[in-house]
Amino acid sequence: MAKTHKAIHTPGLEGALDRLEHLCRARGQRLTRQRRAVLSSLLSAGRALSAYELLERLRPEDGKSTPASVYRSLDFLMTLGVVHRLESTRSFIACEHPETPHWVQFLICRRCGQVVEAEDERIAAATESLGQRLGFALDQRVVELTGVCEGCRGSAARH
């Protein structure tokens, strides 16, 4: 059977949860039901979600989630590097390649909401070098580039 239909089983979900377990174990942190649920939910959403959108998706499964608990889980997953926050849209997204510690950039389509995570050497080098030149010891880099993706420019010519 050809893979013409959208996969029902989110690809990589299992792998990501395994990775989460290993990360927790390695760092002596607890892997709780909620943390697993938050990551799964973000992964299966396949896009960035606001904390409250995430909350709505968790509620059916786990009626006792609250804003505070969702934010706590998100903070935790961010320290592990398996979730990122998009500052310019106040939303959260599962990391696409959490294997390596990394500085990433995001490209966000303002039409369809698609988010692409990139790991560009030139940008990494240029930002680091700017920091040094200005005397900053950088520990966080937000690079979020918004525009219109190829697909959206092609299809909806002018709208």
Contacting positions for a second copy (CB under 8 A): 87-88, 105, 107, 109-110, 116, 118, 120, 122-123, 125-127, 129-131, 134-150, 153
Identify which range of 9-17, 31-39, 116-124, 145-153 contacts DNA by CB under 7 A: 31-39
Binders in 60-89 for DNA, by CB under 7 A: 62, 64-69, 71-73, 76
**Contact between 119 and DNA per CB under 7 A:** no
Amino acid at 70: V
Binders in 120-139 for DNA, by CB under 7 A: none
**Smallest distance from DNA to CB 45, Å:** 14
β-strand partners of 107: 116, 145
> Is the dihedral angle over the CA atoms 145, 41, 25, 79 positive or is it negative?
positive
CA distance 30 to 25: 7
Chain centroid to CA 41: how far? 11
**Contact between 144 and DNA per CB under 7 A:** no
**Contact between 50 and DNA per CB under 7 A:** yes
Q: Which is nearer to a second copy, 14 or 87 (CB)?
A: 87
**Smallest distance from a second copy to CB 108, Å:** 8
β-strand partners of 85: 92
Angstrom CA distances, 22 to 27, 62, 73, 88, 96, stand at 9, 24, 17, 31, 17
CA distance 76 to 49: 16
**Contact between 140 and DNA per CB under 7 A:** no
Residues that bind DNA (CB under 7 A): 24-25, 28-35, 50-53, 62, 64-69, 71-73, 76, 90
